[in-house]
Amino acid sequence: MADSSTDDPALAAEFDILAKRAGLPILAGRRPALLQNYKDLKRMTALMRQPRTAAAEPAGAYSILSVTRSV
Amino acid sequence: MAKALHDVSIAEAGAMLRSGSVTSMALTEHALDRIRSVDPLISSFITVTKESALADAAAADAAFAKGIDKGPMQGIPHALKDIYGTAGIRTTCHSKLLLDNIPKEDSVVAAKFKAQGAVMLGKLATHEFALGGPSFDLPFPPARNPWNPDCIPGGSSSGSGAAVAAGLVRMAMGSDTGGSIRGPAGYCGTIGLKPTYGLVSRRGVFPLSYTLDHCGPLSWTVEDSAIAMEVIAGFDPLDPASADVAVPDFRGKLGKGVQGLRLGLPRGWFVNADGASAETLKAIDDAAQTLAKLGATIEEIELPDYELYNACGRVIMFSEAYAIHEKDFQTRPQDYGLYTYLRMTMGAFVSATDLTQAMRLRRELAQAVNAKLKGCDALITASTLAPAPAFSEADPNSPPNFPIQTMPFDVTGNPAMSIPTGFSASGLPLSMQIVGRAFDEPTVLGIGAAFEAATKLPERRPSFAVAKAA
């Protein structure tokens, strides 16, 4: 697997800052794979940012009655 | 020819126990013998509780002799995924971090089976903390697929799927956060039922993701999953997610057929999905035709893009899982297996805004599924998108994402059951899902039972020929 830190330094810098903020030690040898997974996470969080209606808000999102009988 | 004892279903064994034609001790000793001879090929058990199982069997036989009948699981051997807390019995989550964890109390599910006089044979392999696997860097080997031990059994309820398919137990409990019951069921050719969120207590089961975790059974027949649900479903005021609703009659629609039912088919989700095999797609289309011949109406429907469900579920799962493990990740990350470490660490990088967006999206996605279920009695869709891959197909440096479409119904909470649809040319099981309205497990089970009766797929068991030839 390619070390993403070499082809996307901005992403790698962002990753390092967030890891430090989380108090997360990055184990030796695991950074390239973590960076790949971080890229995929960024893809997913971008995908979720679409226009939503006012009804799409988290209140009651974990209430079984509102989630599964929401319509 | 009479069935081998391990091919007898829970329903059939229950009748035999009550007629006196078999004892719980005979069922238990047969199962223990089969575990001894077969499990070395598939590594489905982490812990076999032989002594307590034999004691449970003796107690069940004594109860039958006195005319005491506590219910359909009395005297029936079963097993639990090793994330279910069991009093006095090691519960490891397949992890170095919990190698010495011996709970003082049973999980609610374990207690319910115990109260009914069921026989617990032991604890089953899982992906580490129900997330990281299949891995070879953990304290126990990964479970293997009984149809071909070179292949994965799916996960994370890997031991549960393998043990049921191999005929070591008729039913095993799994858990499902992104597909961890239905994936192994699909790859191993078993039934796997993820119940409605809130229908089965999760108390005492090690959490992966609070708002996505579901407890449910894997079994060889649809009826046996219905029987397990009769035992484990019900309101638990000490489980914050538990739903205070009437428990349905899980066997109420078995044998009633599918005549007149309207079934939605979100074909757009899977027909062009990456990694979908032609055999899987054909088997789903054939299954739809079978259900149509039985009297159901099949209607193609559109749902939001599958990737939205997947992204929503994964962002929530990573966040909640990391919150549970945060301290250990900060202080002893080296003790996690590589796949667990790589997956769970992502939770540290999800922002509060990301999580809020995921929760907003979750509501919208649940509404979309439930709107379709107003016009349909149930949905049928893909489960695993291809036969079980080989262990050798997994990149040892990065966790695999084998093609499977189970996440949507963890996001929405609807009941969803994986059921076999046939076999690939290579002899591996194929599968689909049947999805119902909230708390309408009886319809899901009824459709499954009708399909099962029409296809007779449970008559085919793994031969272990591949493993024995190796």
ipTM of this predicted complex? 0.88
Answer yes or no: do A68 and B366 touch at CB < 8 A. yes
| Nearest partner of B436 among B409, B406, B410, B416, judged by Cα | B416
Peptide bond connecting B424 to the previous residue in cis, omega within 30 degrees of 0: no
The one-letter code for the residue type at B106 is: D
Q: What is the mean pLDDT of chain B?
A: 96
User: Residue A65 has what pLDDT?
Assistant: 59
Question: pLDDT at residue A1 above 60?
Answer: no
Calculate ∠ Cα B410-B413-B417, nearest 5°. 70
Work out the pLDDT band at B396, boundaries 50, 70, 90: confident
Confidence of residue B447 (pLDDT cuts 50, 70, 90): very high
CB B96 within 8 A of CB B335: yes
B positions 432-451 inside 8 Å of A (CB): 437-439
Q: What is the pLDDT of residues B52-64, one digit of tens each?
A: 999 999 999 999 9
- Cα B285 to Cα B125, B282, B377, B388, B403: the distances in Å are 33, 5, 18, 20, 18
Residues 6+ away with beta carbon under 8 Å from B259: B294, B295, B296
User: What are the pLDDT digits (tens) for A25-52?
Assistant: 998 889 999 999 999 999 999 999 988 8
CA B11 to chain centre: 19
The answer on pLDDT for B469 being more than 90 is no
Question: Mind telling me how many Å the CA of B407 is from chain A's nearest CA?
Answer: 14
How do residues B319-329 score in pLDDT, each as one tens digit? Answer: 999 999 999 99
Q: What is the mean pLDDT of residues B378-403?
A: 94
Dist CA B464 CA B42 (whole Å): 10
Query: In this complex, is the C-beta atom of A28 within 8 Å of any C-beta atom belonging to chain B?
Result: no
> What number is the average pLDDT over the span B61-87?
98
Burial B433-461 (b: 16+ CB within 10 A, else e): bbbbbbbbbbbbbbbbbbbbeebebbeeb
A71 in B contact zone (CB under 8 Å): yes
Q: Which residues on chain B are in Cβ contact (under 8 Å) with A39?
A: none
Sheet holding B77-81, edge to edge: B45-48, B119-124, B77-81, B171-176, B214-219, B191-194, B416-423, B429-436, B378-382, B262-265, B297-300
Residues comprising chain B, all counted: 470
pTM of the model: 0.96
CATH fold label, B22-469: Amidase signature (AS) enzymes (3.90.1300)
Chain A contact set for B412 (CB, 8 A)? 67-68
Predicted confidence at residue A71, as pLDDT, reads: 38
Structure tokens belonging to residue B460: 């085919």
Amino acid at B400: P
Cα–chain center distance at B66: 35
Q: Which comes out higher in pLDDT, residue A57 or B276?
A: B276
Question: CA geometry: angle at B101 spanning B95 and B107, to 5°?
Answer: 100
B254-293 per-position pLDDT tens digit: 999 999 999 999 999 999 999 999 999 999 999 999 999 9
